[in-house]
Every structure is written in structure tokens, then in C-alpha cells.
């Protein structure tokens, strides 16, 4: 029996496929698997982790180059966000939720998502004060998480 989350994913995937075909691009089953892994993940995943999870969860092998190409495609379509926590490894998350920023623990690599309306408002004010049109931003705060402080 399908869960509410499965139905939500199926609707998301259907919309994605419709949008891709409207702009004359092709979709593939590999992209479907990648999107499914990202959709149900609570983590920020590397391309290698995505490939491994597809193999583990669905017994389907997708080459790492295919994952990287798909991630570039999704990023160009603004469907995924890229996150580099300072270790040179890009992690990915679907761009489905409200805008958020990240706290990164420099000891263990833990990633904490946060949203702050005051920070967002101040960024807009700073842009306006400098006659700058703000299109997007990335805020990453580096420090030490509570667990690593002890």
C-alpha cells in the first residue's frame, strides 16, 4: 500500500517529468532513482552516497559519472542545492523546502539546517543599501556542535 509520502513523491516526479518534457529535455530512469533517494533522504548526500543508496535500496547500479551529470542537470534546473562544508566534497539536497541556511561542525561534519527571518531581512536591507539586486544567497556558519564541545 502506498504511503502519503509515496504519493507525494509520485506527484513530485510527475511534475518534474512534465516540466522536463515541456522544455524539450529528456528524463531517464536513472534520474528518477536519484530524485527518489534525495526526496526521502534526511541528509545532505554526496554523489557517491547517492549511487550507493540506489544500489542498496533498489539493486540498481548507476555509475558515478551518471550521478554527477544528473546532479549538474538538477542544479541547473534549480531543483537541487549544492553544499560544500569545507572538505571539498559537494553534498546535495532537494530544493523543495523554504530557504534555509546551514551550521557546519568543523569537528564531526554535522550539518544543522536553520532559518532566520531577521537574517533574511538584513540581507535584503544590505543589498538595497548597496543598490544591489539580491537573487540568491548561501549562508554557512562554521563552528563546533554541542556534542564536539564536550
Q: pLDDT for 15-52, tens place per residue?
A: 888 887 778 777 788 999 999 999 999 899 999 999 99
Residues 104 and 89 in one domain: no
Return the closest-CA partner of residue 55 out of 44, 67, 43: 67
108 annotated as a binding-site residue? yes
Residues 87 and 147 in one domain: no
Specify the pTM. Answer: 0.78
d(CA 16, CA 2): 20
Look at residue 130 and give its three-state secondary structure.
coil
| pLDDT digits 0-9 by tens, 49-94 | 999 999 999 999 999 999 999 999 999 888 999 988 888 899 999 9
145 annotated as a binding-site residue? yes
137 annotated as a binding-site residue? yes
44 annotated as a binding-site residue? no
The per-residue pLDDT for 138 is 82
76 annotated as a binding-site residue? no
Number of domains in the chain: 2
148 annotated as a binding-site residue? yes
Q: Note down the domain range covering 103.
A: 97-150
d(CA 92, CA 47): 8
CATH code at position 145: 3.30.1490.190
CA distances from 58 to 32, 33, 37, 53, 101 (A): 12, 8, 10, 8, 31
Residues 72 and 58 in one domain: yes
Amino acid at each position: 500500500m502506498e504511503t502519503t509520502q509515496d504519493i507525494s513523491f509520485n506527484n513530485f516526479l510527475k511534475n518534474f517529468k512534465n516540466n522536463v518534457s515541456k522544455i524539450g529535455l529528456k528524463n531517464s530512469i536513472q534520474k528518477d532513482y536519484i530524485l527518489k533517494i534525495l526526496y526521502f533522504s534526511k541528509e545532505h548526500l554526496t554523489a557517491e552516497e547517492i549511487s550507493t543508496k540506489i544500489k542498496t535500496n533498489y539493486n540498481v547500479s548507476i555509475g558515478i559519472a551518471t550521478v554527477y551529470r544528473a546532479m549538474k542537470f538538477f542544479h541547473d534546473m534549480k531543483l537541487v542545492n549544492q553544499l560544500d562544508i569545507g572538505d571539498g566534497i559537494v553534498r546535495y539536497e532537494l530544493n523543495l523546502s523554504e530557504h534555509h541556511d546551514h551550521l557546519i561542525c568543523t569537528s564531526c561534519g554535522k550539518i544543522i539546517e536553520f532559518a532566520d527571518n531577521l537574517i533574511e531581512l538584513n540581507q535584503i536591507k544590505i543589498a538595497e543599501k548597496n543598490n544591489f539586486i539580491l537573487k540568491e544567497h548561501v549562508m554557512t556558519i562554521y563552528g563546533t556542535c554541542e556534542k564536539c564541545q564536550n
